[in-house]
């Protein structure tokens, strides 16, 4: 049966997350609804990377199976059925065994802060008008890059077998009037990026020391982690796959 990767971008403000759930709107629900209307049958989508309430994505993926070939030109019609805050970018035919979650080699998240009032950033970044020590922030980000076990930065009641993550890049930079934390890893835990951002900001403001941040990283205890960074400042920026996944696409 033909399998397809479906690339999607969305503004998460009006949704309770990426994955379908009971009694709450999700990105997956809206896409499945649009597909069902257009093709007059139900599709079950599998997602690449779950995002929480209010979190945005410049790139995320679903995969789906179809008994019939789907022409990529159908994207226009599917997009016409979707709300304005969700857009399908591409439809890629892939090998039947390809999996948009397990075959991904890494994900990149970016969290943006802005320090001067700006109505055009209000729902896409966190207004944070406090003095921050950039050297300490980057020192904390460097420690993140050296860590493997992120138990202390995972929210409770999460169903995972391991808290190990391979951090490939971690750092702060200025970008488009924002201070942005960029982190790339093979996988992320529930609430992990927001917990890292919130706790690193405590270092940048001098509320905790760099050594205390390192202790929290090592503690495997999330009671000292600051998860207060709101979802609207967070973007899933990119999901990376081996080039071979997309060989032969149209």
Residues acting as catalytic residues: 52
Angle 59-110-228 from CA coordinates, rounded to 5°: 120
Residue of 47, 55, 39 lying closest to 6 (CA atoms): 47
Q: How far is CA 141 from the centre of its chain?
A: 18
**How far is it, in rounded angstroms, from Cα 167 to Cα 84?**
34
Q: What are phi and psi of 246, to 5 degrees?
A: -100, 10
Strand partners, 181: 111, 172
Helix (H) or strand (E) holding 5: strand 3-10
Give the end-to-end CA distance of the chain in Å, rounded to a whole number. 17
Q: How far is CA 35 from the centre of its chain?
A: 23
The C-alpha R_g of the chain, in whole angstroms, comes to 19
Tell me how crowded residue 132 is: count the other CB atoms within 10 A of its CB. Answer: 18
Segments of 15-98 assigned E as strands: 46-47, 56-65, 86-94
Angle 117-118-119 from CA coordinates, rounded to 5°: 120
């Amino acid at each position: 049966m033909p399998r397809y990767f479906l690339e999607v971008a969305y503004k998460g403000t009006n949704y309770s997350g990426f994955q379908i759930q009971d009694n709450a709107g999700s990105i997956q629900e809206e896409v499945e609804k649009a597909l069902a209307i257009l093709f007059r049958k139900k599709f079950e989508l599998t997602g690449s990377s779950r995002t929480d309430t209010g979190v945005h994505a410049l790139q995320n993926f679903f995969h789906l199976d179809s008994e019939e070939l789907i022409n990529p030109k159908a994207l226009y019609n599917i997009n016409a059925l979707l709300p304005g805050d969700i857009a399908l970018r591409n439809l890629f035919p892939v090998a039947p065994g390809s999996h948009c979650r397990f075959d991904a080699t890494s994900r990149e998240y970016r969290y943006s802060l802005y320090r001067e009032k700006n109505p055009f950033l209000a729902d896409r970044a966190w207004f944070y008008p406090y003095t921050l020590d950039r050297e300490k922030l980057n020192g904390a980000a460097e420690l993140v890059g050296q860590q493997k076990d992120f138990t202390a930065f995972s929210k409770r009641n999460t169903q995972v077998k391991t808290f190990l993550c391979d951090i490939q890049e971690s750092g702060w930079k200025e970008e488009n009037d924002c201070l942005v934390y960029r982190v790339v890893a093979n996988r992320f835990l529930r609430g992990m990026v927001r917990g890292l951002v919130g706790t690193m900001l405590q270092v940048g403001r001098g509320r905790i020391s760099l050594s205390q941040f390192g202790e929290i990283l090592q503690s495997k205890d999330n009671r000292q982690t600051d998860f207060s960074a709101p979802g609207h400042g967070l973007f899933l920026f990119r999901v990376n796959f081996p080039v071979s996944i997309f060989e032969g696409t149209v």
